[in-house]
Amino acid sequence: MPDQATGLREMAYRNREPRSSMRVISVTSGKGGVGKTGFTVNLALALVDYGYRVIIMDGDLGLANVDVACGITPRYTMQHMLAGEKTIEEILVSGPKGIGILPGGSGVQELANLDRPRLQNVIRNLGRLENMADLLIIDTGAGLSETVLNFLRASDDIILVTTPEPTSLTDAYGLLKTLKAGSREVQVNVVVNRVRLESDARAAFERLQTAVSKFLHGSLSLLGWIYDDPLVSRSVMNQEPLGISYPQSSANKCIQWIAGSVAGLCLRPPRQSSGVRGFLSSLLRTL
């Protein structure tokens, strides 16, 4: 399965058509501690190998840690842009393999309180991301905060990271239930992390899918799974992404395989992408 990653990357790169609009993907989880940020960073690295230009926005504005996972200490954050002190180009940090990182800062909620000139400045700045990357991946905070829900509702696609643990699945269902209430339909793709066997991943997904189908009258897509791998913890301690420090590890090979499926979503999106400006318009309507 993951051994086919090289061939899939070459095929995806050859077949990739230029996109007129950046696609916005939010990565989320029902609870913390499921490996969401590490997955986000390594997914971005794998997508670079498929020929995509990728920017990660650290949407966990209270406990921003994408920069920590990459061993980077940024000088400026999103807060500086919201305050009108810095441009998007000045806060954007270059990470491993050239991925862009927008470091988190206190409150995108501040968007709701900006005066018109500063709001226009923020929209102009974020709008320039359209020319910088093909994909914007948002690493949201965990849980049910309004900020997280607003990001999810405004995104083109959602990747929900869970583990087979009952508490993780229960919290994932709670997130989906809250998201379902009063929002438009958004495709939710599930990644089951820290599994010993493929059967464990499929069983966990089936439990979640059964609950969603029965009580929320919805459906989910299984995007893939990641094997429990001690090298993940080692890379976290070294503050170096798994895809850089241990690219041949079993966990990273799984992420490369998942990246192939994500590239497929971008090649054949389930609905038209509205780009970063559409994302901003949807986000501002929720504030």
* Residues 151-179: tens digit of each pLDDT: 898 898 999 999 999 999 999 999 999 99
User: Which pair of tokens denotes residue 18?
Assistant: 């230029």
Structure confidence at residue 9 as a pLDDT band (50, 70, 90) = very low
Is residue 18 domain-resident?
no
Domain count of the fold of the chain:
1
Q: Which residues pair with 101 in a beta bridge?
A: 56, 93
pLDDT value for 224 = 96
Structure confidence at residue 112 as a pLDDT band (50, 70, 90) = low
Domain range for residue 158? 29-286
Residue 13 pLDDT more than 70? Answer: no
What is the distance between the alpha carbons of residues 69 and 16, in angstroms, rounded to a whole number?
29
pLDDT value for 98 = 95
What is the distance between the alpha carbons of residues 197 and 182, in angstroms, rounded to a whole number?
37
pLDDT value for 174 = 95
Specify the CATH number for the domain of residue 100.
Answer: 3.40.50.300
Is residue 202 domain-resident?
yes
212 closest CA partner among 187, 188, 176: 176
In this structure, of 96-105, 189-198, 218-227, the range with the lowest mean pLDDT score is 96-105
Type and span of the H or E element at 37: helix 36-49
pLDDT value for 81 = 85
Is residue 130 domain-resident?
yes
Is residue 12 domain-resident?
no
Is residue 194 domain-resident?
yes
pLDDT value for 255 = 97
What is the distance between the alpha carbons of residues 218 and 216, in angstroms, rounded to a whole number?
5
Is residue 126 domain-resident?
yes
Structure confidence at residue 96 as a pLDDT band (50, 70, 90) = very high
Across 229-234, average pLDDT: 96
Across 66-77, average pLDDT: 88
Q: Report CA dihedral (105, 107, 108, 111) to the nearest 10 degrees.
A: -120
Average per-residue pLDDT for the chain: 84
Q: Whole-model pTM?
A: 0.87
Residue with tokens 């029965």: 214
Is residue 11 domain-resident?
no
Residue 113 pLDDT more than 70? Answer: no
Across 56-66, average pLDDT: 75
pLDDT value for 16 = 46
Q: Which residues pair with 102 in a beta bridge?
A: 57
Across 8-24, average pLDDT: 55
Is residue 5 domain-resident?
no
pLDDT value for 272 = 57
pLDDT value for 43 = 98
Highest mean predicted confidence (pLDDT) among 31-45, 50-64, 123-137 = 31-45
